[in-house]
Structure 1
Amino acid sequence: MSDQVQQTEAAPESFEAAIEKLERIVTRLENGDVPLEEAIDLFQEGMRLSKYCSQKLEQVERKIELLMEDEEGISRRPFPPLTDEKGE
């Protein structure tokens, strides 16, 4: 089982590839015809892929810059970080 875990821990080639693989895993698990051990392995791989995608999205979010128009023309500023507080 450790060989199988090592194979699935490698990062996907791209965000899109990870999403496609995650969708296939979800479909297989939703069908319900997967043996228990395989379902557990698929679930673990899905969680790793989900974490990978989440980290990629956070990296992209940090790179986004907002273009703001002011009296001098267009200026750039970093994308504001998300706050934990709601409603503010």
Structure 2
Amino acid sequence: MAQKKPENLTFEDAINELSQIVTEMEQGDMPLEHSLKQFERGISLANASAQKLDHAQQKVSMLMSNDLDAELTPMDPQE
């Protein structure tokens, strides 16, 4: 079964998968090639989750300021 792209997962599903990857990697019995693929997947999941959190934070800020017409802007992941 093909994996969903991290950006297409819910925040909760991405965090759960990331947690599974961490647990699997901590056991230390994975071949190097698989470890690298899992690490790459984990980074993608973490980045997608961070973007979802940024988006949610912007929505909360808009609601708290009562500016419901404010436009959401992409946040720089390097910040």
Q: Which TM-score applies when normalising by structure 1?
A: 0.64
> What secondary structure does 2:23 align onto?
helix
* Consecutive unaligned residues in structure 1, runs of 5 or more: 1-6, 68-75, 79-88
Q: Which has the higher helix share?
A: 2
Q: Which has the higher strand share?
A: 1
Poorly superposed stretches of 4+, deviation over 3 Å: none
Question: Are positions 1:66 and 2:64 aligned together?
Answer: yes
> What secondary structure does 1:22 align onto?
helix
Structure with bigger RCO (C-alpha 8 Å, 6+ apart) = 2
Q: Which of residues 24, 30, 34 is equivalent to 2:30?
A: 34
The 1:45–1:26 alpha-carbon spacing in structure 2 relative to 1, beyond 3 Å, is: same
Question: Are positions 1:54 and 2:50 aligned together?
Answer: yes
Alignment match, 1:10: 5
2-side partners of 1:31 and 1:66: how far apart? Answer: 44
Identity %: 33
> What secondary structure does 1:33 align onto?
coil
> What secondary structure does 2:25 align onto?
helix
Q: Which of residues 11, 16, 29 is equivalent to 1:20?
A: 16
- How many pairs does the alignment contain? 64
